Amino acid sequence: MNEALSLLADAFDDPVNAAFALEQLRTQWRELDPDERAALTPLAQLAARRAEEAKAAQPAEAARAATDADLATPGEDELRAALRFGVRPTTD
């Protein structure tokens, strides 16, 4: 249940890039108890709806305009999300 809530929090934090978190939630869905699924269903539906709306509102050019600097420097939110999934930053 905690992992599902964490994934939903990630999806609400960044609706444009929520696909990964929502897909992870879908793969874990059957592992949840029926009462947990019932409680999480409205939130998951809302997160999916917001992700779709955010993707539709995003200009196509902005989606492709990532620069090397953007890719090389993760922000605080990205680092926190990575740590939730057990990814440790390297010390290169």
The domain locations on the chain are 2-84
The angle, 0 to 180 degrees and rounded to 10, between the axes of the packed helices 34-57 and 19-28 is 160
Which residues lie below 8 Å from residue 36, measured CB to CB, with a gap of 6+?
1, 4
* Burial annotation 46-59 (CB, 10 A radius, 16+ → b, else e): ebbeebeeeeeeee
The residue that leads in pLDDT, 76 or 21, is 21
The pLDDT assigned to 19 comes to 87
The pLDDT assigned to 39 comes to 95
The pLDDT assigned to 61 comes to 52
Element (H, E) at 89: none
Residue 86 zone, left/alpha/beta (φ > 0; ψ -120 to 50; rest):
left
The pLDDT tens digits of the residues spanning 12-69 come to: 998 888 888 999 999 999 999 999 999 999 999 999 999 998 888 876 555 555 555 5
pTM of the model: 0.61
